[in-house]
Amino acid sequence: MASILSSLTSPLSNPLLKEHPYFVVFLLALGSLSFAKFVIKTAGVISQTFILPGKNLKKYGAGKGAWAVVTGASEGIGREFALQLARKGFHVLIAARNTTSLNNLAAEIEAQNKGDNKVQTKVLTMDFSKPNDVAQWTRFQSEIEHLDIGVLINNVGRSHSCPVDFVDTPIDEMDNILNINVNATVHVTRAIVPGMAKRKRGLVISIGSFSGVSVVSPMLATYAGTKSFLSSFSAALAEEVKDKGIDVECLNTYFVVSNLSKIRKPSVMIPTPKAYVRSVLAKVGLPCGALFTGRPHVSSPFWSHAMLDWLMNIIGWKMFFARYTHDLHRSIRKRALRKQEREAKKQ
């Protein structure tokens, strides 16, 4: 005990240091380097998330007559993107199925942005679950053909109605998720990016999810798979078009209050669409919580999502999160089935 104490108070007298001085110095250097790396990375994440501004949207034509296209814009996050992009000076083309909601949103946008800030809107009723509906895709193509599109928000998305094992997933639910989240997104992007390349400017944002980008998500296999697709698709596309003045990113989104999440009350971890979209538009081009996590062109801009993303990457123990998520989804399914039973009995 006395020798341990004396070696602590006087490290040079430590026999290990005396016998293997180079080895001890090597270990100390390695430890210091790892610590310095951790500090530098954490400082990067914190400054991107809380201090640094993202790219100015004027780069993509804000206030200069450019348009923003938002898919799935009648509700939730998409609706908020349309409202905030209009406020930033983009004309907006909004697409979804519910024509009444879209028309109301267009009227709200035009009423809010009059005079010098006059914003034009276009409403496009589209069912993105129908990739083979030639008539609607021809209409889409002819609506966008002559527009100077500066921003594309690939927001439209559908999840499972409730967590479910892959083998029990209804086939039509699976097809809808694949068609909306993957096929429609790829088609819309394919239609819009060539025009952006010609004009040498553009921003393409796709809404990913923690369930595909950060964690293994048992019982949401199809949905999570489509969100992983978006992350990989965005990263590849981003590299191809970066020399053409186009920025592409995939958002790593934890929960947001919406119909899709079935969460009605905001909290520290679960922002409203308004707060979430504000953070996205303020941090364009900054990975924030996804910085140094080996996922190029992924961004976690909302502060608490950024911290969670960063923390999960530090912990790194993916199987722990997979098991936690599996248990969580099992219990969500149990509760949902019990609720369905209660409601069936009431009728």
Ligand X SMILES: NC(=O)c1ccc[n+]([C@@H]2O[C@H](COP(=O)([O-])OP(=O)(O)OC[C@H]3O[C@@H](n4cnc5c(N)ncnc54)[C@H](OP(=O)(O)O)[C@@H]3O)[C@@H](O)[C@H]2O)c1
The residue to which tokens 């608490």 are assigned = 304
Phi-psi sector, 65: left (phi>0), alpha (psi -120 to 50), beta: left
Q: How many angstroms separate the CA atoms of 162 and 340, rounded?
A: 11
Select the residue interacting with ligand X from 108, 127, 133, 175 (CB under 6 A): 127
Q: Does 74 bind ligand X (CB under 6 A)?
A: yes
CA gap 310, 40 in Å, rounded? 13
Per the annotation, binding residues for substrate are 209
Tell whether residue 113 is a contact of ligand X (CB under 6 A). Answer: no
Q: Which residue shows structure tokens 């993509």? A: 60
Residues making up the annotated binding site are: 209
Q: Minimum distance between the CB of residue 321 and ligand X, rounded to whole angstroms?
A: 16
Packed helices 273-282 and 76-87: angle between N→C axes, nearest 10 degrees:
50
What tokens appear for 32 in the block? 């210091």
**126 lies in the site for ligand X, by CB under 6 A:** yes
3-state secondary structure of 128: coil
Dihedral sign, CA of 314, 316, 322, 323?
Answer: negative
Q: Which residue in 84, 113, 121, 155 binds ligand X (CB under 6 A)?
A: 155
Site for ligand X in 229-268 (CB under 6 A): 253, 255-256, 258-261
* Among 84, 113, 121, 129, interactor with ligand X by CB under 6 A: 129
Least separation in angstroms between CB 60 and ligand X: 20
Candidates 11-19, 151-159, 197-205, 286-294; binding stretch for ligand X (CB under 6 A): 151-159
Q: Can you tell me which of 96, 286, 306, 308 binds ligand X, judged by CB under 6 A?
A: 96
Among the listed ranges 61-69, 72-80, 188-196, 285-293, the one in contact with ligand X (CB under 6 A) is: 72-80
Number of Cβ atoms within 10 Å of the Cβ of 241: 18
**One of 45, 62, 69, 77 touching ligand X (CB under 6 A):** 77
> For residue 54, what are its two tokens?
């993202």
In angstroms, rounded to a whole number, what is the distance separating the alpha carbons of residues 91 and 316?
Answer: 42
Q: How far is the CB of 147 from ligand X (least distance, A)?
A: 19
Annotated catalytic residue: which of 22, 60, 223, 276?
A: 223
Backbone angles phi, psi at 216, to 5 degrees: -75, 135
| 254 is annotated as an active-site residue | no
Output the DSSP codes for 64-107.
TT-EEEEES-SSHHHHHHHHHHHHTT-EEEEEES-HHHHHHHHH
Binding flag, residue 302, ligand X (CB under 6 A) = no
Neighbour count for residue 228 (Cβ, 10 Å): 18
Closest approach of Cβ 76 to ligand X, in Å? 2
Instruction: Tell me the residue number closest to ligand X, measured at CB.
Output: 157
Residue ranges in 156-215 that form contacts with ligand X under rule CB under 6 A: 156-159, 180, 207, 209
Catalytic site positions: 223
Residues of this chain that interact with ligand X (CB under 6 A) are 72-78, 96-98, 101, 126-129, 155-159, 180, 207, 209, 253, 255-256, 258-261
